[in-house]
Amino acid sequence: MDLGGINPAVLIASLMVASVPIMLAALGELVVEKAGVLNLGVEGMMIIGAVMGFAVAVNTGSPLAGFLGGAAGGAILSLIFALLTQYLLANQVATGLALTLFGLGLSSLIGQGYVGIRPPLTGAVPLGPLADIPVVGRILFRHDWMVYGSLVMVAATWAVLKFTRIGLILRAVGENHEAAHALGYKVRRIRVLAICFGGAMAGLGGAYISLIRVPQWTDGITSGAGWIALAIVVFASWKPWRVLLGAYLFGGITVLQLNLQAAGARIPVEYLSMSPYLITILVLVIMSSGRGRIAAAAPASLGKNFHASR
């Protein structure tokens, strides 16, 4: 069954794939923001993850090593951010923006020798007969392991934040760092760990783009996915399950516009390719228009530097 040249089952299946990078990056950023840190360098960490993951995978021939390399790349870049904002108390917004620009530049430097190479393939998880179920099998059971892994990460992030002590401490630090310090929690250490986790997740998301979704290396391969991830965190009101929803929504729009282009819709290509970003802006405006609702959901110490002076 085709609707205007688009098969819904294929569309949904590719939507799940398309949303993995932004979902991973947004989950990481959600944890970072829950700890009270605003890291706008997601795009930079993603693209470093993309190029590092690609380079490691090509050189070792193992996609798994590639993903680990991507996560490590993102985490290392995020440590620069952690050093600047948590120890040198630099402004978080400016540092995050600088991190993005630095990441974009560094990635094209590293990636010079890798243009035009194909990375080792990551196959679908063999789910046997499940994959042969009509429609549902096509949609749900023919994906690579990262798709399932990202869903597990959503559940894990939710559970850790909600049910564990470390999650509670993390939220407490993001809510009121003065109080957390007064109770004897190591605000700075917790934030550095959160930033590092956010960097690793963004790196994973980036590696997914270069290793599976595209799969090859070109400059600027993430093309704004990091910014969409940042928007999804706000869209999700800092709740992990809503990150899933947001990622599917934006992943869906991206896939839909590609499909519409392929199906030869009579809309200029430029409008279609700007649509995910336009809808990002629209959603943020609508979400923020309810007075103070966004502000009430945000961690209260978000973006504020902490210095234990007393």
CB-nearer residue toward other proteins: 175 or 219: 175
Half-sphere exposure of 15 (CA within 13 A, CB side): 22
Smallest separation (angstroms) from other proteins to the CB of 93: 18
Letters for 93-112 (x = contact with other proteins by CB under 8 A, - = none) are --------------------
Q: Could you tell me the smallest distance in angstroms from the CB atom of residue 186 to other proteins?
A: 9
The pair phi, psi for residue 124, each rounded to 5°, is: -75, 155
Window 109-168: residues binding other proteins (CB under 8 A)? 165, 168
175 touches other proteins by CB under 8 A: yes
Instruction: Supply the minimum distance, in Å, between the C-beta of residue 90 and other proteins.
Output: 17
* Sign of the dihedral through C-alpha 69, 72, 76, 82: positive
Residue type, 158: W
The DSSP-derived string for 139-194 is HHSS-BHHHHHHHHHHHHHHHHHHHSHHHHHHHHHHH-HHHHHHTT--HHHHHHHH
Give me the least distance between CB of 83 and other proteins, in Å please: 24
d(CA 12, CA 17): 9
CA-CA distances (angstroms) from residue 94 to 72, 177, 178, 227? 23, 21, 23, 15
Span from 108-116, 172-180, 240-248, 280-288 in contact with other proteins (CB under 8 A): 172-180
With beta carbons less than 8 A apart as the criterion, state whether 307 and 89 touch. Answer: yes
**Which of 20, 172, 233, 253 forms a contact with other proteins (CB under 8 A)?**
172
Q: Which of residues 185-214 bind other proteins (CB under 8 A)?
A: 185
Matching residue, tokens 């993390």: 170
- Contact between 89 and other proteins by CB under 8 A: the answer reads no
- Smallest distance, other proteins to C-beta of residue 190, A: 12
- The minimum distance between CB 180 and other proteins, in angstroms, equals 8
Residue 3 sits at φ, ψ, to 5 deg, of -115, 110
Is residue 296 involved in binding other proteins (CB under 8 A)? yes
Answer for which of 7, 60, 108, 176 binds other proteins (CB under 8 A) is: 176
**Looking at the DSSP assignment, which residues form a beta bridge with residue 6?**
3
**Positions in the binding site for other proteins (CB under 8 A):** 165, 168-169, 171-172, 175-176, 178-185, 292, 295-296, 299-300, 310
